[in-house]
Amino acid sequence: MNDIPGRPQAASSAASTTEPYRVMVVDDSAVIRGLLTRTLEGDGTIRVVASVANGQMAINTLQRQTLDVIVLDIEMPVMDGLTALPQLIAADPAVKVIMASTLTAKNADISLRALRAGASDYVTKPSSTRELTGAESFKAELVSKVQALGEAARRADPSKGAPSRPLAPRPVVAPIPGAAPAAAPAGTAAPAAPSPIRSRLLDHGPVVLRPAPDIRPDIIAIGSSTGGPQALFEVMANFRGGLQQPIVITQHMPATFTTILAEHITRQCGIECAEAKDGEPIVGGRAYVAPGDNHLLLVSRNGVTTAQLTKDPPENFCRPAVDPMLRSIVKIYGRKVLAVILTGMGHDGRGGCDQVVQAGGMVVGQDEASSVVWGMPGAVAMAGLCSSILPLKEIGPFIRKIALRTAA
């Protein structure tokens, strides 16, 4: 099942507080362009300002238009999407690009290559216009992603227009008993802080950092969604050699895409990674990706931990989902869990991270500045569940340090 999170908060207020997000649709089929345009403009927060048939036309249009989001087909004549992508980003580094393709192994591979080349996300189109016309889940996914990435584009470049929800002017951390000293507001003396928060925060109130438990984890669990593949490659490149713990990953992706994702992690990060198989033992030093359209759970029988794949109902609009994975892990590993929540829409992972914390484990979240969308890590952070909130480039080295320290 594709990632279909609930609409971001911008959806309820953007129409009344900002101009609609400006979108260009790029597809060689005029029928598909029309269907995508009607889907997007059916929501009051989005306006399709350009509709073109190939990558070269998209580049020419972007040089004349101010855009927030581009929905870019992969296979087109004259210039395909993967060829056009770097030129579009060079023309406007703040524009957000969503790759659109049908669900094939070839297109999954191209989409993941596009994400590494700078695309922000992808959507999998139904394979026929008849299917697309009635594909309500696809339409909801597309609208949600355009809204979230339109918001991110305006944060990256304020000249595009005001975002619907302003950021707080400075980082703030509220201390709790036993926690590390907080980062001081601007203009005051800063106390020493071994794990300072570095994210720019939502205007919902201060983030509370929990005391970091003094443990070496027996397992590392990672959850991610929008922007997640790029973040996973960055983080897991630091795990090459030396880590003894198993790594389990739930990335909101459909089937086929998760197969290709695991292959890319193996090739690019130098760590053995594959889709989890039902009933297989969980072995240290290997990474397991939840297959698309399946929840990945861990179970223990006769002292052996194995993977269990289920078709239980979606949670947080997703299957696979992070929460059921984390709940199952806590039952086996207790306090020896390190949970990491990376960029993504929605709040999947918040409930599972609460159980990790209640068991005495550790939660690390990606900061807002480095997240494509600060939904999932933001939800965990705002719930006061994180011991550390770090920029993406610091998460991998931090995990490695915790994973390799002396057992406690």
Tell me the catalytic residues.
225, 252, 348
Q: How far apart are CA 69 and CA 31, in angstroms?
A: 20
Contacts of 337 (CB under 8 A, 6+ apart): 217, 218, 219, 221, 326, 329, 330, 356, 359, 361, 362
| Cα Rg of the chain, angstroms | 21
Pull the structure tokens for residue 354: 């609460």
In eight-state DSSP terms, residue 209 is P
Which stretch of DSSP H or E encloses residue 221?
A: strand 219-224
Decide if 214 contacts 408 (C-beta within 8 A): yes
Contacts of 227 (CB under 8 A, 6+ apart): 120, 121, 342, 343, 344, 371, 372, 373
CB atoms near residue 111 (< 10 Å)? 26
Which candidate, 203, 216, 184, 212, places its Cα nearest to that of 382?
203
Q: How far apart are CA 154 and CA 22, in angstroms?
A: 11
Q: Phi/psi of residue 102, each to 5°? A: -75, 165
Which candidate, 334, 128, 323, places its Cα nearest to that of 219?
334
Looking at the DSSP assignment, which residues form a beta bridge with residue 96? 69
Decide if 65 contacts 157 (C-beta within 8 A): no
* Sequential DSSP letters for 294-338: SEEEEEEETTEEEEEEE-PPPBTTBSS-HHHHHHHHHHHHTT-EE
